Amino acid sequence: MSTRFARAIAHALLRRIGSGSLTVLEDRRPPTTFGVGAPHAIVHVRSPRAWRKLLRGSNGLAEAYAQELWDSPDPTAVVRVAARNADALDRLRARFAPLLVPAQRARTLTSANTRRRRRRDIAAHYDLGNELFELMLDPTMSYSCALFERTGMSLQEASVAKLERVCGRLDLRPDDHLLEIGSGWGALALHAARTRGARVTTTTISREQHAHTSAQVQRAGLQDRVTVLLEDYRDLRGRYDKLASIEMIEAVGWRHFGTFFDCCSRLLAPDGAMLLQAITIDERAYDVEKASRSFMNTYIFPNGCLPSLGVIEREVQRRTDMRVAHLQDITPHYVQTLRHWRASFECNAQRLAALGYDERFQRLWRLYLAYCEAGFAERRIGDVQLLLTKPRWSATAATDLANVA
């Protein structure tokens, strides 16, 4: 495809912007603005080669940005404009979705969710180096949505508030044994043991996370309260009073959401409860997105998939005896969380470069953080906390729940 033809197609698509506006600046061409009003974004096309890339969807957008074929003073604004106008594209893609089913099935057969493959996919993101995450996250090393409960809270304070919320929702007590699926860097396990006196078993399949969390447990002198495993959730055994999984379900894969909830229910005591924090996608976009190749599940979270809230509820009903006892939408807090992460990432650009994270990597991650912030800001994606309870979960806990903010 010629550059001229690609530019013409791209301009035709941009003329369909119905909410927000985008100004395109390109050498030796007058500025062109598409759409009207806020949010307003500016794109500098640095090379004509960008136009052919941009017609390849989010993967092409990311590749072109990583190669510096286009730039923007505010990539988040660019993605916000795109998200504002995604509905029309979703409807068009949905019409052709049935045609993609054979390809989706073939891709599933060639990329089975084996334990080895899952470890490799997790390592591709979470084993990039603990130094990277230390420079981006707050001292708790929480890599999930924080809760900014009052104006002026620091990211660390908001992360601790989220950990408190999780423990409070679960009514976590000293005689409880908490299972955490997806350790992260140990923030919840350490907090639950320190503040509630609970026993905690936490598991991850990231070797970097396992090493960091194990070292933190040793440093805190909590070896008698916290056990850190390097095991796939499907291989876990035993029975636990409470279970927490914080933004881990996105790595499970769309064909295995039912298996995940089945395992969680099997591991919980008859009077147990589970706190699930999940990044979700709009139900209307789920069927198209679930097996598509996108920037996020190609370059950032290989083979990841966001569930919809409807899918979560259906799989819980179909595969478990749990029910949804409480649901809270915390999406607005993720916009603030990501702004903090992005600011820290930008502030530490030189240190990251010295550690070997080159310009291409940093541009991809800059776009990743902007992509997520825009998605949450425009409600293209959301973040929820669900309390899932077993049949014999106590009425006392239900009463106490009403008192948790």
Give the span between the Cα atoms of 333 and 372, in whole angstroms.
12
The active-site residue, picked from 167, 264, 305, 372, is 372
User: What radius of gyration, in Å, describes the C-alpha atoms of the chain?
Assistant: 22
Please list, residue by residue across 128-167, b when 16 or more beta carbons sit within 10 angstroms of its beta carbon and e when fewer do.
Answer: eebebbebbbbebbbbbbbbbeeeebebebbbbbbbbbbb
Quick one: 71 exposed, middle or buried, by C-beta within 10 A (0-12, 13-18, 19+)?
middle
Strand partners, 44: 25, 71
Q: What is the SS3 assignment for 276?
A: strand
Q: What angle do CA 323, 328, 85 make, to 5 degrees?
A: 115
How many angstroms separate the Cα of 106 from the Cα of each of 109, 327, 398?
Answer: 5, 36, 45
Quick one: 59 exposed, middle or buried, by C-beta within 10 A (0-12, 13-18, 19+)?
middle
Q: Which of 352, 348, 295 is nearest to 66 (CA)?
A: 295
Long-range contacts of 398-401 (CB under 8 A, 24+ apart): 398/325, 400/171, 401/169, 401/171, 401/325, 401/326
What sign does the CA torsion over 13, 18, 20, 23 have?
Answer: positive
Q: Which of 49, 40, 41 is nearest to 68 (CA)?
A: 49
* 151 backbone dihedrals φ, ψ, rounded to 5°: -65, 140
Active site residue 145: no
Please give the structure tokens belonging to residue 302: 């290989």
Q: Which of 257, 312, 294, 284 is nearest to 372 (CA)?
A: 294
Give the span between the Cα atoms of 372 and 19, in whole angstroms.
19
| Residues involved in catalysis | 372
